[in-house]
Amino acid sequence: MRDLKFFDRTGHEVSDILHAALREDHNYCSVKVSLLADGSVVSTVWLGRGYSEFYNRWENFETIKAIPLDNDEFEWKDAVHHKTEAEALEYHNSLID
């Protein structure tokens, strides 16, 4: 079984109850959203979860690029997980430059 842990935006471990409360706050979860000239959207959000170092899988932040399709829907591309907000913002900015 994986050792699932929860974190706040600064990377401090929090209880599952506090994590659930933070996930309800859209302003807390949304890190950055960018609309590109071609209609694509780059979104970085806080997820606040990760598995133990043994599994080395961190999903504290996620950046996704959404490309518009002809039918008013989006195709989600480039979903990348990050351990820190700084890493997430660096990746986000690399997609919009």
Q: What are the C-alpha distances in Å from 75 to residues 29, 43, 67?
A: 22, 13, 5
- ∠ CA 51-43-34, rounded to 5°: 155
> What's the sign of the alpha-carbon dihedral 78, 84, 88, 91?
negative
Distance CA 34, CA 32 (A): 7
**What is the pTM for the complete model shown?**
0.85
Q: What is the pLDDT along the chain (97 residues), one digit of tens a residue?
A: 457 889 999 988 999 999 999 999 999 999 999 999 999 999 999 999 887 665 556 688 999 999 988 887 888 887 899 989 999 999 999 999 8
Q: Quick one: pLDDT at residue 74?
A: 87
